[in-house]
Amino acid sequence: MAGPTKEALEEGVRKLGPFHHDVELPHGVRTQPPGTTRRAVENTRVKNLVAHLWPSLLAAAGGSLQGTAPGPPASSGSTWWTST
């Protein structure tokens, strides 16, 4: 499945903004235009989070944050949302 185009991301950022943090999205689209932050710390806060926390978070989650839908327990007579 292909992700959104650059144009679609830019349109979404324009519609949903303004954003508090500058986040780089696919295709180099940013949630804040360059030079619009009010404080220098805003330029580093999310970058530091991604650089230092993200690898540990992914490792703790088994390498991916892609979830899986719950399914029925193997060889059980009950449905997956109840237990008997």
**Mean pLDDT of the residues in the chain:** 76
For residue 4, what are its two tokens?
Answer: 């959104």
| pTM to 2 decimal places | 0.47
Q: What is the dihedral of CA 52, 42, 13, 30, to 10 degrees?
A: -60
- pLDDT category at 15 given cuts 50, 70, 90 is very high
- Between CA 35 and CA 32 the distance in angstroms is 8
What pLDDT was estimated at residue 84? 46
Q: What is the mean pLDDT of residues 15-31?
A: 87
